[in-house]
């Protein structure tokens, strides 16, 4: 399978934007790693949501038939990431919403199937007599 054909059978741009979104959301809690594991810290939620969004973007590349469901989860987790990771300074949230929307809207393009040629139909001549 060629590179271009593989790309056309996957929600490529939605997945890539989702992976970037997950990495942006992960960036905030990883820079706060000293306080991430203190009691009452919300940074652990940011690590969880960012990791899940990155995983969802990767899964959409390998399981394109479930891209609609994965897109819904991406949007949901991106909006909730504002709680634990400031949404990657809101850029991660915006990219997550865009990537999730692209995954929901993605559809496999129909392939051009070989159409059988029509056989010329036999014409009934007027001189043919029906015996009955």
List b or e across 90-129, with b for residues whose CB sees 16 or more CB atoms inside 10 angstroms: eebbbbbbbbbbbbbebeeeeeeeeeeeeeeeeeeeeeee
Q: Band of the pLDDT at 7, cuts 50, 70, 90?
A: confident
What is the rounded average pLDDT of the residues 97-123?
76
How many C-alpha atoms does 99 have within 13 Å on its Cβ side? 33
**pLDDT of res. 17:** 96
Q: What is the number of residues in the chain?
A: 132
**pLDDT of res. 119:** 65
Contact residues for 123 (Cβ-Cβ < 8 A; gap 6+): none
Q: Band of the pLDDT at 103, cuts 50, 70, 90?
A: very high
What is the rounded average pLDDT of the residues 115-121?
63
Q: Band of the pLDDT at 72, cuts 50, 70, 90?
A: very high
| Least reliable range by pLDDT among 22-26, 104-108, 125-129 | 125-129
pTM of the model: 0.76
- Torsion region of 94: left, alpha or beta (phi above 0 gives left; psi -120 to 50 gives alpha): alpha
Torsion angles phi and psi, residue 113, rounded to 5: -90, 150
What is the rounded average pLDDT of the residues 81-98?
88
**pLDDT of res. 108:** 78
Share of the chain above pLDDT 90, in %: 48
CA distance 129 to 3: 62
**pLDDT of res. 53:** 96
Start-to-end C-alpha separation, the chain? 60
Residue of higher predicted confidence among 7 and 49: 49
């Amino acid at each position: 399978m060629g590179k271009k054909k593989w790309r056309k059978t996957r929600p490529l741009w939605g997945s890539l934007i989702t992976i970037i979104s997950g990495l942006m959301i992960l960036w905030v809690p990883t820079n706060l790693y000293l306080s991430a594991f203190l009691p009452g810290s919300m940074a652990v939620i940011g690590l969880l949501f960012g990791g899940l969004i990155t995983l969802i973007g990767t899964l959409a590349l390998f399981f394109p038939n479930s891209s609609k469901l994965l897109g819904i989860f991406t949007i949901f987790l991106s909006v909730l990431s504002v709680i634990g990771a400031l949404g990657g300074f809101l850029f991660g949230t915006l990219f997550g919403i865009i990537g999730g929307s692209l995954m929901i809207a993605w559809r496999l393009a129909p392939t051009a199937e070989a159409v059988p040629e029509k056989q010329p139909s036999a014409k009934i001549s007027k001189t043919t007599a029906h015996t009955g």
